[in-house]
Amino acid sequence: MKKYIPFAFATLLAGFGLPAMAQQNCEVTVESNDAMQYDVKEITADKSCKEFTIHLKHVGKLPVAAMGHNWVLTTSDDVEQVAQEGIAAGADNDYLKPDDKRVLAHTELIGGGEETSVTFDLSKLDENGDYMFFCSFPGHSAIMRGEFNIGDATGTQPRT
Ligand code: ZN
């Protein structure tokens, strides 16, 4: 009986290892800076991901009150309105109207040297939908925005 234990243990380890290897890449990192820019203009999330995670880094030095950045996901049609109402909601609300149903996902607002992340349910989004991400800090959304797609593999397009 004893001699079967190491074999069973190895099988158990292999069993844990395989699903991890088959798993899709369901996260991306987005950098933002003191020049009011994200480093990506387009994000594609693999449609087989149930959940998707955005890691937002602020690689600048300016404080959140001067150059705050967040990552907000809405449909393309809702960007302008959500951004406008976000400015009205003020800094205390991270420049987002509280409980705004048009906001599909968002990170907190961060300043230079900080990082944050958000994980959201990708399966509830429409594969053929038209989505965009942007920063809701006043004045930023005109430049800090990009396309969010759902496709066959996770990836990003750099800002040019
Ligand atoms: Zn910003």
Q: Is 95 a member of any domain? A: yes
Q: What is the pLDDT of residues 40-62, one digit of tens each?
A: 999 999 999 999 999 999 999 99
**Statement: residue 21 has pLDDT above 50:** no
**Statement: residue 24 has pLDDT above 80:** no
Q: How far apart are CA 55 and CA 19, in angstroms?
A: 23
Listed in sequence order, the residues at least 6 apart from 142 whose beta carbon sits closer than 8 Å to its beta carbon are: none
Q: Please give the C-alpha separations between residue 37 and each of 2, 50, 69, 111, 119, in angstroms, as whole numbers.
A: 61, 28, 9, 13, 22
Mean pLDDT, residues 122-137 taken together: 96
Q: How confident is the model at residue 160 (pLDDT cuts 50, 70, 90)?
A: confident
Q: Is 12 a member of any domain? A: no
Residue type for position 84 = Q
pLDDT for the residue 124: 92
Dist. CA 145 → ligand 1 center (Å): 10
Q: How far apart are CA 135 and CA 26, in angstroms?
A: 21
Dist. CA 6 → ligand 1 center (Å): 54
Helices (H), 44-106: 64-67, 79-89
Q: Is 111 a member of any domain? A: yes
Dist. CA 11 → ligand 1 center (Å): 49
pLDDT for the residue 63: 98
Q: Is 5 a member of any domain? A: no
Q: How confident is the model at residue 23 (pLDDT cuts 50, 70, 90)?
A: low
Query: Structural domain tally of the chain?
Result: 1
What CATH number is given to the structural domain containing 67?
A: 2.60.40.420
Dist. CA 82 → ligand 1 center (Å): 14
Dist. CA 129 → ligand 1 center (Å): 24
| Phi, psi for residue 97 in degrees, rounded to 5 | -60, 130
Range of the domain at 104: 24-158
Q: Is 14 a member of any domain? A: no
Dist. CA 135 → ligand 1 center (Å): 5
Q: How far apart are CA 83 and CA 96, in angstroms?
A: 7
3-state secondary structure of 57: strand
Dist. CA 59 → ligand 1 center (Å): 12
Q: Is 7 a member of any domain? A: no
Helix H or strand E encompassing 81: helix 79-89
Choice between 133 and 3, residue whose per-residue pLDDT is larger? 133
**Statement: residue 3 has pLDDT above 60:** no
Contact between 145 and 71 under an 8 Å Cβ cutoff? The reply is no
**Statement: residue 80 has pLDDT above 70:** yes
Q: Is 154 a member of any domain? A: yes
Q: What percent of the chain has pLDDT over 90?
A: 84
Helix H or strand E encompassing 34: none
Q: Is 86 a member of any domain? A: yes
Helix H or strand E encompassing 128: none
